Structure 1
Amino acid sequence: MDQLYDRIGTSYARGRRTDPRWMSVITESLGDAESLVNVGAGTGSYEPADRDVIAVEPSAAMIRQRPEGSPPVVRAVAERLPVRSGVVDAALAVLTVHHWADWRRGLAELRRVAPLRVVLAYDVRRHLDYWFVREYVPEIADLERRRPSAPEIAAELGAERMIPLPLPWDFTDGVFPAHWRRPEAYLDPEVRRNCSALARCDPAAAERGLRRLRADLAGGRWRRRHQDLLDQREYDAGFRLVVSRD
Structure 2
Amino acid sequence: MARYDEIGVGYALGRRTDPRWLAPVLDALAGARSVVDVGSGTGSYEPPSRRVVAVEPSAEMIRQRPAGAAPVVRAVAEALPFGSSAFDAALAVLTVHHWPDWRRGLTELRRVSRRQVVLAYDTRLHNDFWLVREYVPEVAALERSRPSAHDIAEFLGASSVAELPVPWDFTDGVFPAYWRRPAAYLDPAVRRSCSALAQTPPDAVARGMARLRADLASGRWQENHADLLTLPEWDAGFRLIVS
TM-score normalised by structure 2 residue count:
0.99
Question: What amino acid maps onto 2:101 in structure 1?
Answer: D
Map 1:228-243; keep pairs closer than 5 Å: 228-243=227-242
* Alpha-carbon shift at residue 89 of structure 1 (Å): 0.1
1:233 & 1:69 partners in 2: Cα distance? 34
Cα distance in 2 between the residues matched to 1:97 and 1:128: 18
Please show how residues 118-133 of structure 1 align to structure 2 within 5 Å.
118-133=117-132
Aligned to 2:85: 86
1:165 maps to a residue whose letter is L
Residue matched to 1:98: 97
Question: Which residue in the other structure is 2:23 paired with?
Answer: 24
Alpha-carbon shift at residue 49 of structure 1 (Å): 1.2
Task: Give SS of 2:36's match.
Answer: strand
AA paired with 1:52?
R
The structural deviation recorded for 1:154 is: 0.1
Runs of 4+ in 1 over 6 A off after TM superposition: none
CA distance in 2: counterparts of 1:178 and 1:15, whole angstroms: 11
Q: Deviations over 1:115-135 (max 9, x none)?
A: 100000000110010000000
SS in structure 1 at match of 2:25: helix
Give the Cα separation in 2 of the matches to 1:77 and 1:40.
Answer: 8
Q: Which residue of 2 aligns with 1:64?
A: 63
The number of aligned residues is: 243
Shift of 1:13: 1.1
Q: Structure 1 residue 77 and structure 2 residue 76: aligned?
A: yes
1:90 positional shift: 0.1
Residue of structure 1 in register with 2:141 after alignment: 142
Residue type at the aligned position of 1:213:
L
Q: Deviations over 1:23-62 (max 9, x none)?
A: 0000001110000100000011001111100100000000
**Partner SS state of residue 43, structure 1:** coil
> Where does structure 2 lack aligned partners over 5 or more consecutive residues?
none
Partner Cα separation in structure 2 for residue 26 and residue 203 of structure 1 = 34
Q: What displacement does 1:70 show? A: 1.1
Q: CA deviation at 1:207?
A: 0.7
Partner SS for 2:35: strand
- Look up the match of 1:208: 207
Identity %: 67
Report what 1:180 is aligned to.
Answer: 179
Write the distance in 1 (CA, Å) between the matches of 2:194 and 2:69: 24
Q: Secondary structure at the match of 2:8?
A: helix
**How far apart in 1 are the matches of 2:122 and 2:161?**
11
Which digits, 9 at most, give the CA deviation of each residue in 1:137-157, with x for residues without a partner? Answer: 000000000000000000000
| Deviation by residue 1:74-97 (Cα, 9 ceiling, x = unmatched) | 000000001110011000000000
Matches of 1:163 and 1:199 in 2, distance apart? 28
Partner Cα separation in structure 1 for residue 103 and residue 138 of structure 2: 26
- For residue 224 of structure 1, what is the aligned residue in structure 2? 223
List gaps (5 residues or longer) in structure 1.
Answer: none
What are the within-5 Å matches in structure 2 for residues 150-169 of structure 1?
A: 150-169=149-168
Moved more, 221-230 or 202-211: 202-211
CA distance in 2, matches of 1:213, 1:3: 31
Deviation at 1:112, TM superposition (A): 0.2
Once residues 64 and 206 of structure 2 are traced to their aligned partners in structure 1, the CA distance between those partners, rounded to angstroms, is 29
Letter in 1 for 2:51: D
3-state secondary structure, aligned to 1:237: coil
1:10: how far off? 1.4
**TM-score (normalised: structure 1):** 0.98
Residue 69 of structure 1 deviates from its aligned partner by 1.3
CA RMSD of aligned residues (A): 0.5
